[in-house]
Amino acid sequence: MIFQNENSYEIKEKIEQSQVAILPLGAVEAHGPHLPLGTDNYLAEQLAERVAGKTGALVLPTLPYGQVWSLKNFPGSITVSNQSLISLLCDIGVSLHHQGFQVFVMLNGHLGNAVAIKEAARQLYETVPNLRVLYLFYPGVKKITDELRETPSAHASYFHACEIETSYMLYLAEQYVDMTKAVSDIPDIPMSADVTPTPWEEFTATAVLGDATLATKEKGKAIIEVALANMVKLIEEAKRSLGK
C-alpha cells in the first residue's frame, strides 16, 4: 500500500491494521554509462513495494538523496551529509511513532547511507524505545551471490553498477537499463581506500566496479528473491515482538 496515495480520513485505521512503515532510501549518483543516476532509488522502491505486498506494510515516499561522498565528483551525483540524513531519519521515525506506527523499516538501496541509517536507528532506540526499527540492505544474499557471479568482486564490502547491481536492475527495473552501453571495469582498489578518504575517481573513470556485461535478469531474480524472503522474515519477526 502506497502511503502518499491514501487520504487523511482513512489512514488512521490503515496504520492500526498495518503497524509497519517502509521507507525506501536511495541516492542520485553515477552508475556508469548503462544505468541511470536514480538506480538506487528504483531498486529501493521496487523492493519496498514487493515487501509491502507480503507484509501488509505501508510504503512511504522515497528518500531520494543519500551520502555519496565517494562519487560526488562524477557528473550527476548529488550528496548530502551523514548528519543531515541522521536528523531527517530520526525526525521521520518520531513522527511515524506519533502517528501510530510500531515498526519502522529503513529499506536501503545505497550502501553509502549505511552509517547514517545505523546511527539514526540507534538514536531512535533511545528516544522512542517502543518503536521497532529495522535497517535492511539485501540481507542474507552473500552465499547466492558468490554462487552466481562469474567474476570476482572488485571489493569485499561494496558493489556498484557491476554484474550484480546491473542484474538487480534487469530484474526489478529493466526499462531503465541499456545493456548496449554496459562495460567491464574491474579496478584495482588499493587497501588504503579502506582506511583513508578516497574519492572513487582515483581508481575508476566509469564508476563501474566489475563486469556489467555479464549481468542477467535471471541472476538478479535469484539474488533478489533471497533478499526479499529475508526481509519479510525480519519484518514479521519484528511484528510478533510487539508488546513483549
For residue range 121-177, list pLDDT tens digits in order. Answer: 999 999 999 999 999 999 999 999 999 999 888 887 889 999 999 999 999 999 999
Determine the Cα angle at 239 with ends 62 and 119, to 5°: 50
Supply the pLDDT for residue 27.
98
* Whole-prediction pTM: 0.96
**Computed from CA positions of residues 198, 146, 161, 53, in that sequence, does the dihedral angle turn out positive or negative?**
negative
Supply the pLDDT for residue 244.
60
Supply the pLDDT for residue 153.
83
Phi, then psi, of 187 in degrees rounded to 5 = -75, 155
Domains of the chain, with CATH numbers?
18-240 (3.40.50.10310)
Supply the pLDDT for residue 154.
81
Provide the pairing of β-strand 210-211 with 184-185: antiparallel
Residues of the chain under the 50 pLDDT cut = none
Supply the pLDDT for residue 152.
84
